Structure 1
């Protein structure tokens, strides 16, 4: 079984659906509400676990009702928690608005206890990181934790993936330690200054990311799939449709978790990206974030069809 270690945040997602976001001072009647598991790190760990990998998640939680949602979610997906519980902090939470018409979303996240994740959390799990096939991180927790995790993993020959969300300026030493960086279009623009709106501009952004020091970029393009871009190749991997789009909230996390799984199993990068596109394609046909991630049999069936 492939071994994946994820560093990241759990957040209880408060999901509101409606026709539009309210203006300041305005109240808008919504159409639906749900409370469920979220946070990019947790979502990506859950996505990988549901696809059959041996996954450990390094994070921090409060001691509250939202923490129970986290543990229940991880148990269902087969994710092993590597958790520090902080009774003085709260478990992370996120406000998610989903547009009824388009399925697009807007998000505010408060990491809570996971906002205190640091290098000491990585050092506590150092042997776990060194023994992984893939180490996966995002940027909802402090950058110092991601720096420490990626450095230890890279030093041990572990494949490293950074999903740079939310986007921020990244130090050169972190970029050099990455095997893959996986921004979406807006994150690629924030990192490079190149507005991504088609394959040609995605390749320009990919070149800019390579110039910053990364080995390879996988720029996700929504329904259009993804661009795998390195010094040796630049290949478009088309999106994989699994039905009408209902909610895009968890698509990027499903992609990253699936990409990590395929790489950990020895898949060639383009094959791994196609597997990830199929997982994302299934994810958008369902509501929710972690709850929308597909099982392995579903992804295999979609690709086989």
Structure 2
């Protein structure tokens, strides 16, 4: 049985454009395709965690518009329990996603809308929910003060805390000290530590830097090279899985974090939780979209067992 997972974050509607290249300023080019779908790191992670078998509550804000309807439908399908206020004061968030046709790589602009008004007090109103969780996870798409407050409440209650420091931002002093696990990718790691990550040795050095600022353990995701788990006692590289040809890398980090949270909530060893997250991410990149690309638990278990790829 999995314990309860509480995730604080943002929903945005993803507007995804595929083209051979990014247009230059002042230039208009023809794209190859367009797709509208559900996104936002916190929402994506909630969907990934729920599909991976977790019992997931998602704290956020929505407007009252078609994008909000999309959010609610997405969570219902995945089994995510929304802990969400709706308001007419602003719009539900949206994101522009450019996808390079030849590689599947992406560039993203996020406008969080009403979720940008999530405050520390709004999060504190969910103290009972957070304190009753096995795992609390957040990112940096909602205001920083809200993320800090959520981590403070979880830490005070003895809840396992996970920070996915994305998008990259300067963290206030002491924030990493509230985190049992911090899960940056390579570029986020460099932004946090000033250390470029071009291999495992550099990743380990950067992980030590994160731990020196208070993090209990650092998990640096390395894209096609898997992930590094480092806690000062154990330092293990988990190679990437192959589940098929890469279609789109958007949402891969969210797939990893959601599945990682589910595995932690089940009481798994953290390195095994990293493996579970890597398997989830490997499947997600073989499909287009963000939330729609998140695999079911049976698919993750089949890949872990060697039944896929």
1:249 to partner: Cα distance: 0.2
Q: Matched residue of 2:175: which SS?
A: helix
Map of 1:148 onto structure 2: 149
1:300 deviates by 0.3
Equivalent residue, structure 2, for 1:261: 262
Residues 230 and 236, structure 2, Cα contact 8 Å, conserved in 1: yes
1:92-241 matches, cutoff 5 A: 92-241=93-242
TM-score, normalised with respect to structure 1: 0.99
Q: Which residue of 2 aligns with 1:17?
A: 18
Aligned-partner Cα distance in 2 for 1:97–1:166: 16
Local SS of the residue matching 1:172: coil
2:79 corresponds in structure 1 to: 78
Provide the C-alpha distance between the structure 2 equivalents of 1:242 and 1:56, rounded to a whole number of angstroms.
Answer: 29
CA offset at residue 84 of structure 1? 1.2
Q: How far off is 1:17 after superposition?
A: 0.4
> 1: distance between equivalents of 2:45 and 2:93?
16
Partners of 2:270 and 2:21 in 1: how far apart? 39
Deviations 1:185-217 (A, max 9, x none): 000000000000111110111111111111100
- For 1:170 and 1:162, locate their aligned partners in 2 and report how far apart those are by CA, in whole Å: 11
| Structure 2 unaligned regions, length at least 5 | none
| In 2: Cα distance, 1:263 partner to 1:83 partner | 24
CA contact (8 A) 1:58 1:121 kept: no
Gaps of 5+ in 1: none
Distance in 2 of aligned mates of 1:210 and 1:125: 28
Aligned to 1:282: 283
Aligned residues between the structures: 305
Q: What is the TM-score with the length of structure 2 in the denominator?
A: 0.98
Displacement, 1:2? 2.3
- The equivalent residue for 1:57 is 58
Tell me if structure 1 keeps the 8 A contact 2:227–2:274. yes
- Map residues 9-48 of structure 1 onto 2, 5 A cutoff: 9-48=10-49
Structure 1 runs (4+) deviating above 2 angstroms are none
Q: What is the rounded CA distance, in whole Å, between the counterparts of 2:252 and 2:278 in structure 1?
A: 9
Task: Please give the secondary structure, in 2, of the residue aligned with 1:92.
Answer: strand
Contact 2:162–2:182 (Cα < 8 Å) also in 1: yes
Contact 1:6-1:58 at 8 Å conserved across structures: yes
Contact kept? 1:138, 1:163, Cα under 8 Å: yes
Residue 165 of structure 1 aligns to a residue whose secondary structure is coil
Hey, what's the Cα distance between the residues in 1 that align with 2:247 and 2:198? 23
Do the aligned partners of 2:45 and 2:254 also contact (CA within 8 Å) in 1?
yes
Q: d(CA) in 2 for partners of 1:118 and 1:88?
A: 15
